[in-house]
Chains A and B, each alone.
Chain A
Amino acid sequence: MSEDKATAKTSQPGPEAIESVEELLAHAYVIEVDAVERYNLLADQMEVHNNSELAALFRKLAGHEEHHAKEILERAGDKALPKLKSSDYKWGEFEAPEAAELDRAHYLMTPWHALQMALRAEKRAFAFFDQLVKTAKDDEMKKWSEEFREEEAEHVRLVEELLTRYPEPAEDWAEDPDPPVYLE
């Protein structure tokens, strides 16, 4: 018999385990840096696959997240943020809350799909800070969490507004007459 019957998806603690403002700010910073890396990777993929419209969109999203990351460091002022290692993260999930889902990328995806991906990411980030507002250890942590939550709510609104410019593509958007898969 296996010893590993009682298992959990991830052993990482969630945001409720964040203990200080410095740790909170470090997590907020990592969230943005992670998003920058992922959007840039997605932009690279779309450039390789000659989907230039989407490459530009992902690059723009990466730029926005980079700006947010810089803002967090500026706002942190002289607070010494801990350098978090992967074992220190308190996402409670496999990935950072605002992580763009690399596994959902497709070479024929459209701006609608990219913005849906961004929308899901912003909503997860909102939920992360919402949880922190509820579990903040002191008033200062709560104040920062509320600010970040409000910013994420604003990002959700912005992405939703952008989405109004792009209609949902037809169901056969992923159909490729010359796919890379051997079909015979």
Chain B
Amino acid sequence: MTAHTAPAFKASDYKSDIKPVWCPGCGDYHVLLSVTRALAELGRRPEDVACISGIGCSSRIPAYVNCYGFHGVHGRSLPIGTGLKVARPDLTVLVAGGDGDGFSIGGNHFQHACRRNIDITYIVMDNRVYGMTKGQPSPTTEPDWDSALSPGGTGLSPFHPLVIALASGANFVARTFSGDPNRTTEVLVEAIKHPGFSFVQILSPCVTFRPDERGWKDVVHTAAVEETDDPARAARRIMTDDGFNIGILYRGNRAPYKLTGREATSDTDQLGEMFAI
């Protein structure tokens, strides 16, 4: 807590003029609040931040944040974010999207982004459903979720993103709940500050296709034990928790990827020379 009366940036400075088109009640509104508050707490200038996304409801977020943004193609937000960070290491790069975008079509990129350990923060708003395309089960949907589009449930074991992230080499792993925006802000601040690939799963209810998820606010709970830098311990915790344990679960100390051999450049003439035949 530092004493001063005029903060450099307010959360509202990071909110764009574009009005979100998410359904009223959607958890992603809370995530938007948390992202803008985290950037304000960090004091990053809007022009020093880039928000990259794929496709899906949550992937609309770059339009709503006042910083550089790129609304990419389905499942390819991480390659775009990786390329940007390598070319412009001075930027704070946030990659954002949903569980379908990140863990299904983008699942392979997710694993390799963890492995590369580039200094970016990947925020997944996990609502366990494809909302934009009207409610199909996603990789994280429970096997017995019964719906018009998955009668009787899929019967498939859900994807465990935190374990996959940890096993693949992510340097920071956390789970938060959108309805706890203060904690989410706190975790995002730590994730952005931590070197290397930071993965934050935000449980974000879809009130339209998964109204049952409104009940998440009654079941999420604070992690009772301290964060760890021991991946084996973190893996055991994540594998045995109930999926609603929120907080920083792993903070590793692996050095982030650094480009070697030549300096990164965004000069188009230099880039052109590299590709000249």
- In A73-114, which residues have CB < 8 Å from any B CB? 80-89, 91, 94-96, 102-107, 109
Q: Are B29 and A95 in contact (CB under 8 A)?
A: no
Q: A8-B224, A80-B3, A183-B148 are in contact. Are A1 and B205 (CB under 8 A)?
A: no
Q: A8-B222, A91-B182 are in contact. Are A86 and B148 (CB under 8 A)?
A: no
**Cross-chain contact of A44 among B20, B223, B240 (Cβ < 8 A):** B20
Q: Are A103 and B179 in contact (CB under 8 A)?
A: yes
Task: Report the minimum CB–CB distance from B3 to chain A (whole Å).
Answer: 5
B134 contacts which chain A residues (CB < 8 A)? 180-182
Q: Are A48 and B21 in contact (CB under 8 A)?
A: yes
A38 contacts which chain B residues (CB < 8 A)? 33
Q: Which residue of A lies closest to B209 (CB)?
A: A181
Q: Are B214 and A7 in contact (CB under 8 A)?
A: no
Which of B5-13, B156-164, B195-203 is the contact stretch? B5-13
Q: Which residue of A lies closest to B42 (CB)?
A: A85
- In B176-196, which residues have CB < 8 Å from any A CB? 177, 179-183, 185-186, 189
B237 contacts which chain A residues (CB < 8 A)? 2-4
**Cross-chain contact of B135 among A3, A91, A182 (Cβ < 8 A):** A182
Q: Does A49 sit at the interface, judged by CB under 8 A?
A: yes
Task: Report the minimum CB–CB distance from A72 to chain B (whole Å).
Answer: 12
A11 to B242, CA, bound (A): 18
Task: Report the minimum CB–CB distance from A117 to chain B (whole Å).
Answer: 11
Q: Does B1 sit at the interface, judged by CB under 8 A?
A: yes
Q: Does A37 sit at the interface, judged by CB under 8 A?
A: yes
A8 to B41, CA, bound (A): 26
* 1/0 contact string of B205-234 vs chain A (CB within 8 Å): 101110000100100111111000000000
A107 to B199, CA, bound (A): 32
Q: Are B183 and A45 in contact (CB under 8 A)?
A: no
Count residues of A near B (Cβ-Cβ below 8 Å): 51
**Cross-chain contact of B24 among A22, A88, A106, A182 (Cβ < 8 A):** A106
Q: A107-B23, A182-B148 are in contact. Are A94 and B181 (CB under 8 A)?
A: yes
Q: Are A102 and B29 in contact (CB under 8 A)?
A: yes
* 1/0 contact string of A142-184 vs chain B (CB within 8 Å): 0000000000000000000000000000000000000011111
Q: Which residue of A lies closest to B214 (CB)?
A: A103
A85 to B183, CA, bound (A): 11
Most buried by B among A47, A89, A102, A180: A102
Q: Are A180 and B183 in contact (CB under 8 A)?
A: no
Q: Are B25 and A102 in contact (CB under 8 A)?
A: yes
B32 contacts which chain A residues (CB < 8 A)? 41
**Cross-chain contact of B25 among A8, A12, A37, A105 (Cβ < 8 A):** A105
Q: Are B25 and A104 in contact (CB under 8 A)?
A: yes
Q: Does B149 sit at the interface, judged by CB under 8 A?
A: yes
Q: Are B1 and A37 in contact (CB under 8 A)?
A: no
Q: A10-B180, A85-B1, A182-B134 are in contact. Are A2 and B242 (CB under 8 A)?
A: yes
A133 to B135, CA, bound (A): 48
Q: Does B56 sit at the interface, judged by CB under 8 A?
A: no
A37 to B21, CA, bound (A): 17
Q: Are A181 and B208 in contact (CB under 8 A)?
A: yes
User: Can you pick out 15 interface pairs between chain A and chain B where the beta carbons lie within 8 Å of each other?
Assistant: A4-B225, A7-B222, A7-B224, A7-B245, A8-B224, A12-B182, A37-B33, A41-B20, A41-B33, A86-B183, A86-B185, A95-B179, A103-B207, A105-B25, A180-B23
Besides A44-B19, A80-B3, 4 new A-B residue pairs in contact (Cβ under 8 A), listed by A number: A3-B237, A41-B20, A80-B4, A87-B186
